[in-house]
């Protein structure tokens, strides 16, 4: 597995990546700070969701294109369903990590309260508070369904809380369906929450029913299983791939138990047509349970808000209905690993990375039109037996032979001169004088630290394209002097000398600059 290296990097000139939050099948989640946002902005801290097509060894061109298209579809889905109770996309981009690996990324709002699965385990949720969380999730889902988007992976882990634990937002639209077509339904979702229409454990039929289309009732099923968790504090594992027909023993004597069981039983029926047909309809039935709630519920949220018969959104600071620029990723671009050139000279302790820039990645080759064949042949792209083109190839071959001969002669002269120099001097120059003051070029924006640790404050920023002089090294840290800035200095107070971080991989250091030698 090839992991991206983003810690302590700066993306798009503004997002300072500080922490890895988690990894999925083909994406990595990082916490970052937006240096262009106000310190008081609710979006000062953001989440970077980075597509990593190299996480598995089974990558081929078709799979790569599919992963990029799915990643782009997630961004499009988030923009289409923008809602106070759905996580917001704030931006997107394409960049290189510290190893020069090209990747696409989304910028999402950060919700520090964690997910409802963890919150319910560690804090417990009062009955009315659970209803309010379910109402917000129902409001977000109802809006998504109005926009013809079906989430397909509703579960407590995908319902995130804000910092005050009062507002819920639906996250992870990575497998969302945005079409009402009768295309084959793929197996997605988490087994104990997924309906039989697309459960990973089902083959597409229950033995009694066939499913030719996907409807909002699929999300209603998953929301009902999630509601079981929030209202009973128990996992619905016993009811995986089948309807909820009973409640845990410890809540069966509650005054609302029978009514809750009936609502959940209908919402999780094997037949989608027998379920509630919308999230709003499901919530309307569930909201009637609020009459059984106790006034002793200690939640501040319960004291300040009421449960509504129709699901109502709850707004958080910083929410805007306006979407950022449309996320468009080049699905024909091959995100190939860069060629890595290791510096084998003794005493340097440095590995040099020759990485491509996004602009150097070539798009997928397309078929040449007849009018282009001559021009393509001159560039060596097509084969032909035409006499004129044969002469072109012969001329190119002759030039290549001449150039190769000149290079061989140049290196021979260099080796001979070095041999005479050694014989004459009878000693080598010191390693330090040769390599201790090497110059390099920054391949991306890099934080400059006061010492060899990310725990020390940032004292400057090395812009992409800056010329550096390497002064010393400490494990995978390098002390550098900025010789020439690649962009105007971001802050006049920034230092011109400090330490930058590399990343240890396979026992070697990979740093974010290339040698000028």
Higher-pLDDT residue of 351 and 20 is: 20
pLDDT greater than 70 at residue 482: yes
Residue 132's pLDDT is 95
pLDDT in tens, 105-119: 999 999 999 999 999
In this structure, what are the phi and psi dihedrals at residue 408, rounded to the nearest 5 degrees? -60, -45
pLDDT-based confidence at residue 156 (cuts at 50, 70, 90): very high
Cα three-residue angle 466-6-23, rounded to 5 degrees: 165
Burial class (CB in 10 A: 0-12, 13-18, 19+), 68: buried
CATH of domain 116-304: 1.10.510.10
Half-sphere exposure of 61 (CA within 13 A, CB side): 6
Q: Is 58 or 437 the better-scoring residue by pLDDT?
A: 58
Q: Which of 2-16, 162-176, 190-204, 278-292 has the lowest mean pLDDT?
A: 190-204
Of residues 492 and 57, which shows the higher confidence score? 492
Least confident residue range of 193-207, 305-319, 385-399:
385-399
**Whole-number pLDDT of residue 478:** 86
Instruction: Provide the pLDDT for residue 71.
Output: 93
Cβ atoms of 497 and 469 closer than 8 Å: no
Residue 337: predicted pLDDT: 44
When comparing pLDDT for 307 and 187, which is higher?
307
Whole-number Å distance between alpha carbons of 476 and 502: 5
> What pLDDT, on the 0 to 100 scale, is given for residue 420?
53
pLDDT band at residue 505, thresholds of 50, 70 and 90?
very low
Residue of 226 and 378 predicted with greater confidence:
226
| Band of pLDDT at residue 239, cut at 50, 70 and 90 | very high
pLDDT exceeds 70 at position 96: yes
CB 243 within 8 A of CB 265: yes
Q: What is the pTM of this model?
A: 0.67
In angstroms, the CA 451 to CA 461 distance is 14
25-84: per-residue pLDDT in tens? 889 999 999 999 999 999 999 999 999 988 877 777 888 888 898 899 999 999 999 999
Looking at per-residue confidence, does 411 or 71 come out higher? 71
Q: Above 90 in pLDDT, residue 305?
A: no
Q: What is the pLDDT of residue 119?
A: 94
Percent of the chain with pLDDT over 70: 70
Confidence band, pLDDT 50/70/90 cuts, at residue 129:
very high
61-70, 275-284, 372-381, 492-501 — which one is most confidently predicted on average?
A: 275-284
Higher pLDDT, 419 or 286: 286
Q: What is the pLDDT of residues 173-211, one digit of tens each?
A: 988 988 655 455 566 667 899 998 877 766 544 444 455
Q: What is the mean pLDDT of residues 229-233?
A: 95
**Is the per-residue pLDDT at 504 higher than 80?**
no
At residue 48, the 3 state secondary structure works out as strand
| Beta bridge partners of residue 89, listed in sequence order | 108
Q: How far apart are CA 195 and CA 153, in angstroms?
A: 10
Could you tell me which of 225, 217, 219, 193 has the C-alpha nearest to residue 271?
217
For 180, residues 6+ apart whose C-beta sits below 8 A from its C-beta are: 148, 213
Task: Give the DSSP letter string of 356-424.
Answer: --GGGPPPPP-PPPGGGHHHHHHTT-S----HHHHHHHHHHHHHHHHHHHHHHHHHHHHHHHHHHHHHH
| Ranges in the chain annotated CATH 3.30.200.20 | 10-109
State the span(s) of the chain assigned CATH 1.10.510.10.
116-304
Looking at residue 206, what is its pLDDT? Answer: 46
Residue 435 has pLDDT above 60, yes or no: no
Q: Which two tokens stand for residue 458?
A: 């940032």
pLDDT attached to residue 439? 82
What's the Cα-to-Cα distance from 168 to each of 124, 267, 276, 316, 413, rounded to whole Å? Answer: 16, 21, 22, 10, 72
Q: Given pLDDT bands bounded at 50, 70 and 90, which one contains residue 384?
A: very low
Query: Which two tokens mark 342?
Result: 């290791």
pLDDT in tens, 400-409: 667 777 777 7
Mean pLDDT of the chain: 78
Average pLDDT for residues 295-314, to the nearest whole number? 62
Q: Which one has a higher pLDDT value, 79 or 444?
A: 79
Whether 397 and 409 have beta carbons less than 8 Å apart is answered as: no
Inter-axis angle of helices 257-267 and 279-287, to 10 degrees?
170
Domain with CATH 2.30.30.40 in the chain: 437-515
DSSP 8-state assignment for residue 18: E
Query: Residue range 245-252: average pLDDT?
Result: 94
Q: What is the CATH number of domain 437-515?
A: 2.30.30.40
**Architecture in CATH of 10-109:** 2-Layer Sandwich (3.30)
User: CB 78: neighbour CB atoms within 10 A?
Assistant: 26
Q: Report the pLDDT value the prediction gives residue 213, as an integer from 0 to 100.
A: 78
Residue 442 is predicted with a pLDDT of 82
Model confidence at 19: pLDDT above 70: yes
Return the structure tokens found at 119. Answer: 């919150």
């Amino acid at each position: 597995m090839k992991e991206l290296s983003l810690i302590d990097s700066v993306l798009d000139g503004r997002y300072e990546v500080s922490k890895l939050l988690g990894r999925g099948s083909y994406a990595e989640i990082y916490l970052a700070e937006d240096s262009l946002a106000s310190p008081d902005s609710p979006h000062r801290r953001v989440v970077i969701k980075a597509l990593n097509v190299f996480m598995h060894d089974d990558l081929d061109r078709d799979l790569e294109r599919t992963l990029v298209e799915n990643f782009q579809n997630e961004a499009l889905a988030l923009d289409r369903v923008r809602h106070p109770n759905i996580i917001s996309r704030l931006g997107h981009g394409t960049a290189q990590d510290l190893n020069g690996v090209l990747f696409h990324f989304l910028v999402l709002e950060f919700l520090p309260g964690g997910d409802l699965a963890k919150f319910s385990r560690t804090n417990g949720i009062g009955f009315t508070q659970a209803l309010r969380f379910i109402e917000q999730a129902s409001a977000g889902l109802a809006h998504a369904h109005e926009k013809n988007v079906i989430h397909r992976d509703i579960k407590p882990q995908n319902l995130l809380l804000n910092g005050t634990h009062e507002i819920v937002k639906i996250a992870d639209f990575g497998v969302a369906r945005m079409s009402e077509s009768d295309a084959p339904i793929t197996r997605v979702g988490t087994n104990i929450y997924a309906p039989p229409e697309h459960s990973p454990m089902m083959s597409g039929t229950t033995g009694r029913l066939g499913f030719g289309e996907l409807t909002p009732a699929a999300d209603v099923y998953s929301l009902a299983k999630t509601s079981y968790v929030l209202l009973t504090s128990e996992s619905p594992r016993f009811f995986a791939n089948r309807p909820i027909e009973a409640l845990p023993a410890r809540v069966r004597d509650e005054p609302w138990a029978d009514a809750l069981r009936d609502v959940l039983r209908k919402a999780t029926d094997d037949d989608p047509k027998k379920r509630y047909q919308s999230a709003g309809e499901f919530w309307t039935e569930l909201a009637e349970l609020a009459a059984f709630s106790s006034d002793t519920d200690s939640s501040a949220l319960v004291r300040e808000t009421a449960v509504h018969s129709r699901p109502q959104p709850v707004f958080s600071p910083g929410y805007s209905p306006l979407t950022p620029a449309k996320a468009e990723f080049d699905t024909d671009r091959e995100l190939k690993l860069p060629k890595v050139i290791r510096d084998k000279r003794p005493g340097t302790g440095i590995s040099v990375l020759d990485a491509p820039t996004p602009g150097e990645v070539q798009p997928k080759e397309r078929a040449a039109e007849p009018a282009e064949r001559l021009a393509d042949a001159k560039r060596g792209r097509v084969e032909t037996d035409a006499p004129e083109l044969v002469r072109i190839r012969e001329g190119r071959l002759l030039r290549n032979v001449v150039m190769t001969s000149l290079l061989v002669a140049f290196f021979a002269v260099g080796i001979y001169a070095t041999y005479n120099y050694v014989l004459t001097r009878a000693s080598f120059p010191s390693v330090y004088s040769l390599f201790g003051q090497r110059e390099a070029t920054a391949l991306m924006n890099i934080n400059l630290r006061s010492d060899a640790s990310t725990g020390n404050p940032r004292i400057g920023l090395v812009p992409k394209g800056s010329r550096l002089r390497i002064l010393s090294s400490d494990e995978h840290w390098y002390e550098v002097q900025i010789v020439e800035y690649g962009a105007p200095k971001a802050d006049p107070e920034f230092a011109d000398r400090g330490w930058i971080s590399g990343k240890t991989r396979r026992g070697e250091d990979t740093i974010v600059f290339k040698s000028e030698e």
